[in-house]
Structure 1
Amino acid sequence: MLKEAQFSLLVILLLACGFLYQLTLKSSCFFFCLPPFRSQQGPEALLSHRHSIVFIETSERMEPPPMVSCAVESAAKTYPEQPVAFFMKGLNSSSHLPSTSTYPAFSLLSAIDNVFFIPLDMKRLFEDTPLFSWYTQINSSVEKNWLHVSSDASRLAIIWKYGGIYMDTDVISIRPIPEENFLAAQASQYSSNGVFGFRPRHPFLWGCMENFVEHYNSDTWGHQGPDLMTRMLKVWCKLRDFQELSDLKCLNMSFLHPQRFYPISYPEWRRYYEVWDRDPSFNDSYALHLWNYMNQEGRAVVRGSNTLVENLYRKHCPRTYRDLIQGPEGPVTGELGLGNK
C-alpha cells in the first residue's frame, strides 16, 4: 500500500514538473529571458538561412522607445517570413530582465515570432573586415559622434557578413522591398545609409569599409554614413538625375528613387507630426524615414491627435500603438497586450 502511494505521488510530481516546465516556456521562466536565446541561435545560424531585416542599437539602452518599437514591429509585420534581427550593445549572453512591466516595449517585441534580439559585439563583428584595425585602435571615449559612427560601421559589417536589409530605427515599413542589392536615394545623386540591402560579401560594402577607414573623420556628422555611401556610389556608377519615378540601375545594384523611402524630405520632417486634410497613400514608397535625428524638439506620437504619424502607427505597428502610445492626459491604462500578430 505504501509503495502504491509513493508511486502515485511520484507520478503526480512528474506531471507537476512537466506542467511547470511548459508554463515557464510560455511565461519566460517567470522572469524575462532574452528572445535570441530561446532558440540558442547566434547571428550566423539565424541570419544565414533567409533574407533578414537588421536594426542596430549602439547605446547601452535596453528599453526601445515607441518609435524604435514601431520600426521593428512594422518590419516584422511587413516581412512575416523573414527574421528581424535587432542587434543591441546593451545585451550580453547572460542578460535577463527582471520583469515585463519594467521593459514593456522589449517585452512587446519579444512576443513577435520573427523578432530576435542579438548582442552587438563590435570587436567580434569587425573581425576579418577592414574595420578591425580601426576599431582596435580607436579611443571611443573621445569620439564626438561615437554612437552614430559605430552604428555606421556596424551596419556595413553586418550586411557584408550576413546579407539582408539594414534599416534605421526610425523607419516604418509599409510594403516589402522587391530589390536585393540596393541603396536608397535621399535626394537626387545623394545616397542615404538609413536603408540599404545587399547579398552577403558584396564587394560594394567591402569598398565602403575600406573607404571608412582610409577617410575616417568622426568630427563631421554623416561623413562615415550617407556621405560615405555617396562617395562610393560615385566611384561605382555614373550618377544622373532621376527621371520621374524610375529607379537607377548600376552594374548589379539599384539606386532607388527618393520617393521609395523619403517622400517627405528632411526640411519638411515636421509634416509627419501635423494633421493632414487627407493622409497620403505613399503608393510609391516601401518604407518611411521619419528623420528622428532632426526631432530636437522632442515631438511625440499622441493618441487621438489625428496626425499623420499617429495614423501610420495605428496602421503599421498596431501593437506599439495600442500598448505604448499615450494620450494627451498621460499613459494609456490597461495591461500590456501580447496577443498574436
Structure 2
Amino acid sequence: MLKASRIIIIFMSITTCTFLYRLAFKMDCFLCVPLPFRKPPSIDDVLRPGTGIIFLETSDCLEPRPLVSCALESAARIYPDRPVVFLMKGLVNHTKEEINSTHKAFTLLSSIGNVFMFPLNMEKLLNDTPLLPWYVKVNHTGEKHWLHISADASRLAMIWKYGGMYMDTDIISIRRIAVDDFVAAQHSTYSSNGIFSFKFHHKFILDCMENFVEKYNRSIWGYQGPDLFTRILRKRCKLPVFPEKEDGMCQNISFLNLQRFYPIGYPSWKRYYEVWKINPTFKDSYALHLWNYMNSEAKSVIPRSNTLVEHLYKIYCPTTYKVLINSTEEELMEVGGSRQ
C-alpha cells in the first residue's frame, strides 16, 4: 500500500511539474513572440557578458562600405555565439528605420541575427573613464587626425567598460581566435591596436587610457594608437622578436605573432587586389587586415576578377559579395542593356 502511494505521489509530482513547465513555456512564448512590441535591446543588454566583438565608425558615414560589411559579416559567421556590435557616429542624428529604407549595406547588416548597431556618442562613451577630461578640452575641429584619434579613444573606452574584442573595419575574420587578453604584433617588437581583446576593466587598458591623456600628441599619426600600445607593452616586458610562428607573452598578455593578422604587410597591401596563381590558405592566421588606410587608390572588389580579395569575399562574407558586389555588376549590365 505504501509503495503504491509513493508511486502515485511521484506520478502526480511529475505531472504537475510538466504542466507548470508547459504553462511557463507558453507564457514565455506569449511574451516573446510579438517581436515588434518588444523593447529593443540596449548596448548594456548586448555586451554585458563581455563576449562582444566591437567595430566603430567615427565618421558620419551611414552607408557601410563593402569592406566594412564584409568585416562584420565574417565576424558574425566565425563567432555565431557572440554579439557583433557596430557603433556608428552617424546614427546619433538618424533612426535605423530611415536608414534601412535607403542603404543596402545597412539593411544587409541589420538582417544578421547577431549583429547590433548603436549610435556612437563619444562624450557618453568616455564618461567614467580617464579619457573624458581630455575629450571635453580638446579642439575636435583643429585636430588633423581626429577620425583616427577619436577611434583610438573610443575603442579603449568600449573594451574598458564592457570587455571583449575590438576589430578594425578592414579586418576579415577567417577562423576563431583561440586566446583571450591579447594584442597583435604588426611586426616584430611593435604592436598594432587594430585588433585586441581584454576582459572587463583590465589593467592594460587603464594604463593605455592614462598614457593617452598624459602623453597626448596630436601631430603624430598613430601616437595614440599602435605607438601607445607598444609604449605600454614595453613598460611591462621586452617585446619578442618572432623567429618562427610562435606567439609571445608579455606578463599575462598574449602578444600574437604577426602571421595571425598581418601575413601580408602594409608595404605589400596591393597583393590582396591581385590575381594569385594559387591562393594562399593563411593557415596560420585568425583574420586578415587589408590595410584600407593605405588604399588611397580606392581599390575594390571586382566581380569575376579572380583576385585574392574576391576569393576572400566569396568564402568569408558571401552575402556581402552577392548583395553589394555581384548584384551591383548585374544591375549595371541590365542598365547598359536597356540603353542599347
- So what's the TM-score if we normalise by structure 1? 0.84
Match status 1:60 vs 2:60: yes
What's the offset of the Cα at 1:236?
1.2
Match status 1:82 vs 2:87: no
Say whether the 8 Å CA contact 2:65–2:105 is kept in structure 1.
yes
* Distance in 1, Cα, partners of 2:284 & 2:154: 29
Match status 1:241 vs 2:258: no
> 3-state DSSP class of the match of 2:92?
coil
Residue 17 of structure 1 corresponds to none
What's the offset of the Cα at 1:96?
3.8
Say whether the 8 Å CA contact 1:261–1:286 is kept in structure 2.
yes
* Distance in 2, Cα, partners of 1:133 & 1:211: 13
What's the offset of the Cα at 1:127?
1.2
* Distance in 2, Cα, partners of 1:331 & 1:139: 44
Match status 1:315 vs 2:300: no
Residue 12 of structure 1 corresponds to none
Residue 268 of structure 2 corresponds to 268
Amino acid at match of 1:170: D
What's the offset of the Cα at 1:88?
0.7
Say whether the 8 Å CA contact 1:248–1:257 is kept in structure 2.
yes
* Distance in 2, Cα, partners of 1:50 & 1:318: 28
Say whether the 8 Å CA contact 2:50–2:200 is kept in structure 1.
no
Q: Deviations over 1:258-306 (max 9, x none)?
A: 0000000000000000000000000100000000000001111001000
- So what's the TM-score if we normalise by structure 2? 0.85
> 3-state DSSP class of the match of 1:81?
coil
Unaligned runs of 5+ in 1: 1-21, 30-37, 335-341
Q: Deviations over 1:93-123 (max 9, x none)?
A: 8714436452000000000000000111111
Amino acid at match of 2:84: V
Change (3 A) 1:196 1:42: same
Change (3 A) 1:133 1:282: same
Superposed CA RMSD: 2.1
Identity over the aligned pairs, expressed in percent?
A: 55
> 3-state DSSP class of the match of 1:183?
strand
Match status 1:293 vs 2:293: yes
* Distance in 2, Cα, partners of 1:81 & 1:327: 29
1:9-158 equivalences in 2 (<5 Å): 25=36, 39-92=39-92, 95-98=95-98, 100=100, 102-158=102-158
Residue 304 of structure 1 corresponds to 304
* Distance in 2, Cα, partners of 1:76 & 1:68: 12
Unaligned runs of 5+ in 2: 1-32, 335-340
* Distance in 2, Cα, partners of 1:100 & 1:90: 13
Say whether the 8 Å CA contact 1:74–1:174 is kept in structure 2.
yes
Q: Deviations over 1:210-258 (max 9, x none)?
A: 1111111121111110011111110112212113111001221100000
* Distance in 1, Cα, partners of 2:124 & 2:301: 37
* Distance in 2, Cα, partners of 1:93 & 1:145: 23
* Distance in 2, Cα, partners of 1:279 & 1:236: 39
> 3-state DSSP class of the match of 2:212?
helix
Worse overlay, 251-260 or 95-104: 95-104
* Distance in 1, Cα, partners of 2:229 & 2:108: 34
Change (3 A) 1:93 1:180: farther
Change (3 A) 1:99 1:165: closer
Amino acid at match of 2:127: E
* Distance in 2, Cα, partners of 1:101 & 1:93: 16
Residue 181 of structure 1 corresponds to 181
